[in-house]
């Protein structure tokens, strides 16, 4: 147990779970006005205490202020403001045009309703963003919430825990703190949705627990996200952008570049360009730089350093130094790594070590990417659209960012999520609202026209069956007419012009 974070007693966990369930059933969180007040309060929680969050993130990971702003504070503030501005529109019923002729006179509506009482399991690497951004979506959608913070980033978790009841309605939204045992206890209860950010291994545990209650899940996981450098790319620019995508937050990010595929004749040039980038950013000794974060714990240092020391291939082009007590690992580039290296190319690295693998042609690079499970993101660097399109057409990933790193995740107009081993479902902005919302279909018929409706009742006859077919199955001829609708209009216009012209003559 962390000395700065008090874990939640098991009886309090049970009380909180039952409380938010009972409060949801009262309908308190369904009010749009109530949701807006809580979203404003969540915004205030972050904004009023911004400096304290910076301090906590420094204690947890030595996170530079700019990285704390861009990776934790700004996304949380922006998501609250988005929902405050768009909630009225997002929550509106959607009227639907009937497809079946027999329903042509009926009212069809899709209602946007909250899922109920939901569980959000936050993550330690971005402990503000990855807890409060999904929370904003759950609040906007009208749910009650149990928020389980990560005990690994203990200082930030302790701060959120302190502030939470001062700003938000503690009957509707509760925090649980703890480690594996407390999380396991939480997962025994029935929730209406579980939102988890973390590793695929734990994601399987969450999904298994959810299946006991037939509870839906959103799983934001990770994987080995590759960067493919094409021969035409400017290596000095690529080195900057991949460096940003790897050493931001000391590589502790699920969308970090996990390995790089470089044309075999560009290996040395890429390594040299990368070396210049690191020196420019962090100086001769990155350990002394105020712009370089730290690993979150000594245990994480041991894991990542172990991968470097036990690797099966490759040579350290630069970096490799570490200080366990300082939780420091230098920005490290390992060149000539074999794709089959079971250490560097086995699990996601989640730290500042970047393996570089040579390839002979693009088909070989694509083949290597496809031998791994679909990653959370794929990066490609090329000025040639056809080559980028070839990569898109022949690979699979949660998202893609071409000629940059990380920035697709920061653009909340895009859905963010994985596929297969890298995740289930997506969120951000409108998609967060959808993730925590049930689209309830409503059809309202009138109690008249019974003589027409009677065609569907027994006793069944050939005449009734044929009529039902006409009402329920679209005629292929009508589809063809629709397909050539534009051509028919042009033909009609030409005929009309010809008639007018003929009359004038």
Residues forming the active site: 220, 254
Q: How many residues does the chain have?
A: 505
**CA dist., res. 427 & res. 413, Å (int):** 10
CB 98 within 8 A of CB 104: yes
**CA dist., res. 391 & res. 380, Å (int):** 8
Strand duo 328-329 + 322-323: pairing: antiparallel
For residue 378, list its beta bridge partners: 400
Around Cβ 488, how many Cβ atoms within 10 Å? 11
CB 165 within 8 A of CB 405: no
CB 96 within 8 A of CB 110: yes
Phi and psi based region of residue 501 (left: phi greater than 0; alpha: psi -120 to 50; beta: remaining): alpha
Strand duo 107-114 + 94-96: pairing: antiparallel
**CA dist., res. 42 & res. 175, Å (int):** 14
**CA dist., res. 498 & res. 505, Å (int):** 11
**CA dist., res. 251 & res. 232, Å (int):** 27
The torsion angles phi and psi of 118, rounded to 5 degrees, stand at: -120, 155
Q: Which of 29, 36, 40, 51 is nearest to 77 (CA)?
A: 40
Q: Which of 267, 266, 244 is nearest to 379 (CA)?
A: 244
For residue 226, list its beta bridge partners: 259
**CA dist., res. 231 & res. 266, Å (int):** 8
């Amino acid at each position: 147990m962390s000395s700065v974070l008090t874990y939640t007693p098991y009886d309090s966990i049970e009380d909180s779970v039952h409380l938010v369930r009972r409060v949801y059933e009262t309908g308190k969180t369904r009010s749009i006005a109530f949701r807006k007040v809580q979203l404003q309060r969540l915004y205030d929680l972050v904004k009023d205490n911004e400096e304290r969050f910076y301090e906590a993130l420094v204690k947890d990971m030595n996170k530079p202020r700019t990285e704390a702003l861009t990776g934790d504070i700004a996304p949380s503030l922006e998501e609250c403001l988005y929902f405050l501005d768009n909630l009225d529109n997002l929550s509106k019923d959607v009227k639907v045009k009937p497809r079946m002729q027999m329903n042509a006179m009926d009212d069809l509506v899709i209602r946007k309703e909250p899922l109920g009482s939901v569980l959000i399991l936050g993550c330690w690497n971005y402990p503000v963003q990855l807890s409060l951004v999904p929370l904003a979506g759950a609040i906007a959608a009208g749910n009650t919430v149990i928020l389980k913070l990560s005990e690994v980033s203990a200082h930030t978790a302790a701060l959120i825990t302190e502030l939470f009841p001062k700003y938000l309605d503690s009957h509707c939204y509760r925090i649980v703190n703890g480690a594996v045992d407390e999380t396991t206890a939480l997962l025994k209860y029935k929730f209406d949705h579980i939102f988890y950010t973390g590793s695929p291994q734990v994601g399987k545990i969450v999904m298994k627990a959810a299946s006991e209650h037939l509870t839906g899940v959103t799983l934001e996981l990770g994987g080995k996200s590759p960067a493919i450098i094409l021969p035409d790319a400017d290596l000095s620019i690529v080195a900057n952008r991949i460096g940003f995508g790897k050493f931001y937050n000391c590589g502790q990010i699920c969308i970090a570049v996990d390995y790089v595929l470089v044309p075999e004749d560009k290996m040395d040039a890429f390594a040299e360009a990368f070396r210049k980038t690191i020196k420019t950013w962090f100086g001769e000794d990155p350990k002394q730089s105020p712009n370089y974060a730290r690993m979150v714990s000594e245990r994480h240092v041991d894991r990542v350093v172990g991968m470097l020391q036990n690797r099966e291939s490759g040579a350290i082009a630069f970096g490799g130094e570490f200080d366990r007590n300082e939780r420091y690992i230098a920005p490290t580039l390992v060149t000539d790594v074999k794709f089959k290296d079971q250490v560097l190319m086995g699990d996601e690295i989640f730290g500042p070590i970047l393996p570089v693998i040579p390839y002979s042609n693009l088909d070989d690079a694509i083949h290597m990417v496809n031998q791994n499970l679909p990653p959370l993101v794929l990066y490609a660097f090329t000025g040639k659209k056809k080559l980028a399109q070839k990569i898109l057409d022949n690979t699979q990933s949660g998202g893609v960012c071409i000629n940059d790193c990380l920035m697709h995740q920061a653009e909340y107009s895009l859905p963010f999520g994985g596929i297969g081993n890298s995740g289930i479902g997506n969120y951000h902005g409108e998609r967060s609202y959808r993730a925590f919302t049930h689209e309830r279909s409503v059809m309202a018929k009138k109690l008249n026209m019974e003589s027409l409706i009677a065609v569907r009742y027994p006793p069944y006859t050939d005449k009734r069956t044929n009529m039902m077919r006409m009402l329920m199955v679209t005629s292929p001829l009508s589809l063809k007419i629709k397909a050539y609708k534009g051509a028919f209009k042009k033909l009609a216009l030409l005929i009309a012009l010809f008639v007018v012209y003929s009359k004038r003559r």
